[in-house]
Structures are given as C-alpha cells and as structure tokens.
Amino acid sequence: MTGDTFRYNRHPIDRVYKKVSGVISQSAVEAAIRSYQDPYLNQDLLALGAVKEVRIEGAAVHISLRLAYPSKGLQGALRELLVNAIEDVEGVESVVIDVAQQIQPHGGQNQIPALPGVKNVIAVASGKGGVGKSTVTVNLALALQREGARVGILDADIYGPSQGMMLGVAEGVRPGVKDEKLFIPIEAHGLQVMSMAFLVTEKTPMVWRGPMVSGALLQMANQSIWNDLDYLLIDMPPGTGDIQLTLAQKIPVAGAVIVTTPQDIALLDCRKGIEMFSKVSIPVLGIVENMSVHICSHCGHAEPIFGEDGGASIAGEYQVPLLGQVPLHRTIREQTDGGLPSVAAEPDSEVSRRFSDMARHLGALLSLRQADQAQLFPNLIGKG
C-alpha cells in the first residue's frame, strides 16, 4: 500500500479507539504495542506514529499499522510479535492486525521542484571508480522493490553506462517515446530504467564536453515518464565533477548513499564525496562498504584483502550510518555481468539478505527526514 493520505512525522498521529463491550484495558493494549521496538528507528510504533487505529470490540482487538519505509520482509514477524504480546492482555481472545506501508515524498535541496512521478530521489555515489557502485545500486534497487517499493534507476554515468547490461537489457532495445519528446523508461526485473546505453550502441564512445553530458542527464531525468516511483536511484559517475554539480543544482535529491571499499585510497576519495554532498546541501543517508571481505568460492574462507572496518571508520568520523557491508565474491560479479543481479538471482542468499537489510535501513532513515526539516541531518564539517 503506497497511498499519499498518511503523513508521517515525528509525533504520534491521532488514533481512534472504540470500545464496544468487555473489560479489555486500553492502556494494557498500548503497553503491549510499545513492547515492539522498530529495529531500524529504535522507537516503539506509537512513538513513531505508525499506529493508525486501535479498535476494541468485546474480546477482539483490531489494529491498523502503516510503516513509513519499505518493510515487506518485516511485516510477518511484526504481526506475529504484536499478536503474541496483545493476546497476553487480560480479556483478549482474538487479535487482527493490518500492516502496510505508506512511503512519503521528501523534498530535495534548495526547494528544487520534484520530478513528476517520483517521490524520492536518492543518489548512489563514490569518490573513485572501481568500488562496485553500480553493482550496489542495482542490487539496492531490487532489494527496495522486494521490500514492497516502486523503484527506478537513472544511469547517470554518461561515459560508461552499465545498468542496461547489469539488468539484462538486450543490445538495441530502445525506450518508448511519447509526443516526440518524452521517454518511456524500459522495464527490467520490475524496475523502471533509463540509461544512455539505451540511446547509443555499446561501441559508441561518448566524446562529449561537460555541458553536453549535463544536458543529457537532465533530459533523461526530466523528460522520462516515471510511473509512480517511491524511489528513483541515480547511479552516479565517480568523482566530483560536472554531473555531480548538475545534480545538485537541477535535480531534487532527498539523500545520498556513498559506496566505498575498505582500502585507504578508496576511503580518501570517500571523504571527498561526503564533503561534496555536504557543500551542496544534500544529506548523506549512509555508507555502504563493498568488497569488505573476500570469500573463497572453493573453500568459503573469508579474508579482508582490502583492509578491515574502513567503512565503519568513515561512518564514525562523519557521524553517518554504515548501512551495510557487501563481501567480495565471484558469484556477485558473475550474476551482475550476466544480467541477473544477486538479489534477483538468489533472493534467499546471504548477499540478498544483506541488501534487503540495507534497503530497509535506508528507507527508514529517509523517513525521518521531513520535507521541510533538512536540519534533522547534522552539517558535515570538513576534516582539513
């Protein structure tokens, strides 16, 4: 459920209580609800305003919950835990819990108008190339979708677009066109996708200067018919150049995710990426450490060949969350190169579970940011 009528904020919303008969204590039911702490926001559901209704009818309790982030994988366990807790309340004979999610739009920097059909734009970036940013982007998008969100990808790496290949889009497939000026994004694995790879051939080099590249990005972003997306992930090129500046000036980005590896040179560039987003008033929602540990495909031995805890160190230095760590495993590369990323190829694998956890964590963090309260995120101060 992704309706727009529910507005999430930091204060509990009005709740409706109806007691027709019986002796069930309303305060005891509330206490039972408070026994569950959201694992990503570390607050109870009443404090988060996720409880839409509590209705007591005789010996039956009916509860309506609306979570503000993609959480399909949690809803079964949440329902079971709450049912067990409420059934322990004196007088309760039955419990019915309706759980759904309603993802709200969050504004971007400097009051830039929203993209039509898109609730939230999230940039996935890295300070340097070769850290697996595109692999993280596509798997994170698929994980958000798996958790119940409507998701799209904008491949902003104009010089080296890769999302088409990673999603198994055949060479020569082109987006639809409406009114001779609007693109209809290609659908792949349930994702809405736009990429320069769909507009040129694989062997066509993009020998363009900065203004042309920026123009191409804006055209794909603004002239694509995005269909009711909860999240549009932008797969950024590495570095801090023209594309990044265009993004900051023209596209409303609700937050950014920084991808790094544990090695020192990647961490150095990771700092530059964080500092850049700070300067353009885009909050960094979290860090993903890719290639955190190498897992041998033969014996399963794990070895941190690029170093240890680099992502956690940067996260602590800048006081931003470490969303998760992704191992260096040959299967991840093979699946992505084959057009079937890990989350789609092996949805029950450990790698997929990690991405699902990151997706829920990312959505939960963004849900705390109100459109008119960017100050909820601390200013990032340069380290010299």
Model confidence pLDDT, tens digit, residues 14-26: 444 444 445 789 9
Query: Strands, DSSP E only, in the chain?
Result: 16-19, 51-57, 60-67, 94-101, 118-125, 151-155, 176-178, 182-184, 186-188, 191-195, 229-235, 255-260, 284-295, 302-303, 322-328
Residue 340's identity, in one-letter code, is L
Residue 6 or residue 256, greater confidence: 256
Residue 384 pLDDT > 80 = no
The per-residue pLDDT for 204 is 63
How large is the C-alpha radius of gyration of the chain? 22
Report pLDDT digits (tens) over 297-346.
667 666 666 657 778 888 888 999 999 999 888 889 899 999 999 999 99
Model confidence, pTM:
0.86
CA–CA distance, 123 with 240 (Å, rounded to integer): 13
Which burial class, exposed, middle or buried, applies to 173 when counting CB atoms under 10 A from its CB (0-12, 13-18, 19+)?
exposed
Report pLDDT digits (tens) over 44-95.
999 999 999 999 999 999 999 999 999 999 999 999 999 999 999 999 999 9
Which top CATH class is 109-376? Answer: alpha beta
Residue 229 or residue 8, greater confidence: 229
The per-residue pLDDT for 62 is 95
The answer regarding whether domain 16-101 maps to CATH 3.40.50.10190 reads: no
Range among 101-105, 189-193, 212-216 with highest mean pLDDT value: 189-193
Residue 370 pLDDT > 80 = no
CATH 3.30.300.130 residue ranges of the chain are 16-101
The per-residue pLDDT for 130 is 81
The per-residue pLDDT for 172 is 86
CATH 3.40.50.300 residue ranges of the chain are 109-376
Exposure of 307 in the CB half-sphere (CA atoms within 13 A):
15
Dihedral sign from CA coordinates of 190, 192, 196, 198: positive
Give the β-pairing of 182-184 and 176-178.
antiparallel
- Beta carbons of 363 and 286 less than 8 angstroms apart: no
- In percent, the amount of the chain with pLDDT more than 70 equals 84
122: phi then psi, degrees, rounded to nearest 5: -125, 125
Q: What is the band of 206 on the pLDDT scale with cuts at 50, 70, 90?
A: low
Give the β-pairing of 186-188 and 191-195.
antiparallel
The per-residue pLDDT for 66 is 95
Q: What is the band of 205 on the pLDDT scale with cuts at 50, 70, 90?
A: low
Tokens of 381: 């101060």
DSSP annotation of 224: B
The per-residue pLDDT for 125 is 92
CA–CA distance, 246 with 211 (Å, rounded to integer): 9
CB atoms near residue 33 (< 10 Å):
21
